[in-house]
Amino acid sequence: MPEAQVPYTYVQTPQELDKFAADNRGINWMGFDTEFIGEKRYYTLLCLIQVSTDHGYYLIDPIAVENIDPFLAMLEDESIVKITHAGDNDYRLLYINYGTVPKNLFDTQLSAGFIGHRFPMSFAKLVEAEVGEQLGKGYAVTDWAQRPMTPKQIKYALNDVIYLRLLYDTITEKLRQNGREPWALEECNLMGDPAYYYRDPNHEFLNSNVARSARTKERVFLLRVYEWRRATAEKKNYSKDMILQSKIISQLARGVKGGKESMASNRRLPGRTVDRYGDMFVDMYTKPATEEELEVANSVNRLAQEDEEDDMIIELLYLIMKYRANENEISHSLVMPRNTIRKMKQDKAVRQSILGSGWRRELLGDDFVNWIKNFESLSVRLEGSKIVLES
């Protein structure tokens, strides 16, 4: 077992994993992190699980131990508080790979946004701010699948869990002092809902600005290209960009209606791609659309040029949100990104999911919710030194 700064247990057999679970039966908290490789792969490879509990530090090797059910059961145990930093990616990977839905969650990055820290804040900066310790330089860009791991890799991996309990204690105390603990826990435990991990299978198409600005025939083509790229990447376990680079899809949509010759003459389209797939792309473009394809294609709102007053109202609402967040010492980036107000204006479902209930509605107030609901009839004017927003 390689040397590290702190004693730890390396778990690399099913028997050792069973012992880890038995030794930690009855615990009430667990810090954890993961290391994984997603580059050049469709399926992200889980390479290492780091765990801290009252009984010590553990490195679980999921490459050597294929069945990690004893660990997953701990994640699903409501009696154990799971402490992470930016745990979104970890939980999402475990949900996709194993169907695990965690319970009783505390994320230090999310929770720090409720006590005045910027969101998102790096682990090293948060440890320095709340614990007073300076961590060394990161070691994230490395081959986590290599065995044996180097001492530097192990040191880096352990540092990710050594300070989690200290952060939990200091942040929780401040949350209780400012009365924001219920808000923080509400936000953290969104990751304990299976709906949190749902992603529309057509999400790439639905979020494509190229699709929004395209006509129906080009939209159907784009829908087919995205699905072909995804299915091919899944089959070969390659990254989607290894199948077809994202940056050339818009060029394909513009050139395909002119046929293979038109695509071949486009200097922004790789010749090898056109030679290999050109006939298929032309077939995708010319083949009649199904009813299901038309339904998806027409569900994308065409890009509309916002008039100047709409732009001003969106910016004003954003500034009001930012003011109320800062007034309550909550990171405004945690409340909502800048483009969320525009999305809420366009989509009632987004509006309901964000402002239907919960801490955001409480923070922003009924006036803000009503402004969003009645955006189409909102107007803004100056009355002396005051800005008036009314519907």
200 and 139 in contact (C-beta within 8 Å)? no
329 and 119 in contact (C-beta within 8 Å)? no
The tokens for 265 are 């003459």
Write the DSSP symbol of residue 312: H
13 vs 65: CA distance, rounded Å: 6
Is residue 381 classed as helix, strand or coil in its secondary structure? strand
Torsion of CA 46, 171, 122, 355, to 10 degrees: 80
238 vs 258: CA distance, rounded Å: 30
14 preceded by cis ω (within 30°)? Answer: no
Give the model's pLDDT for residue 138. Answer: 61
Which of 142, 139, 133, 127 has the alpha carbon at shortest distance from 85?
127
Write the DSSP symbol of residue 9: E
For 307-319, write each residue's pLDDT tens digit.
678 888 999 999 9
Which of 324, 252, 241 has the alpha carbon at shortest distance from 40?
241
E-only strand ranges, the chain: 9-11, 29-37, 45-53, 56-60, 81-84, 105-107, 379-383, 386-390
Give the model's pLDDT for residue 2. Answer: 40
The residue to which tokens 């486009």 are assigned: 266
Q: How many residues does the chain have?
A: 391
Q: Which residues of the chain have pLDDT under 70?
A: 1-4, 137-140, 301-307
149 vs 126: CA distance, rounded Å: 27
Reported pTM: 0.91
Sequence-distant (6+) residues with CB within 8 A of 127 are 133, 134, 135, 163, 167
Environment class of 16 (CB within 10 Å of its CB; exposed 0-12, middle 13-18, buried 19+): middle
110 and 122 in contact (C-beta within 8 Å)? no
36 vs 87: CA distance, rounded Å: 13
Which of 321, 381, 320, 375 has the alpha carbon at shortest distance from 344?
375
Give the model's pLDDT for residue 225. Answer: 98
For 247-306, write each residue's pLDDT tens digit.
999 999 999 999 999 999 999 999 999 999 999 999 999 999 999 999 999 988 665 555
Give the model's pLDDT for residue 3. Answer: 41
272 vs 264: CA distance, rounded Å: 9
Give the model's pLDDT for residue 106. Answer: 98
223 and 202 in contact (C-beta within 8 Å)? yes
148 preceded by cis ω (within 30°)? Answer: yes
Environment class of 200 (CB within 10 Å of its CB; exposed 0-12, middle 13-18, buried 19+): exposed
The tokens for 270 are 């790789």
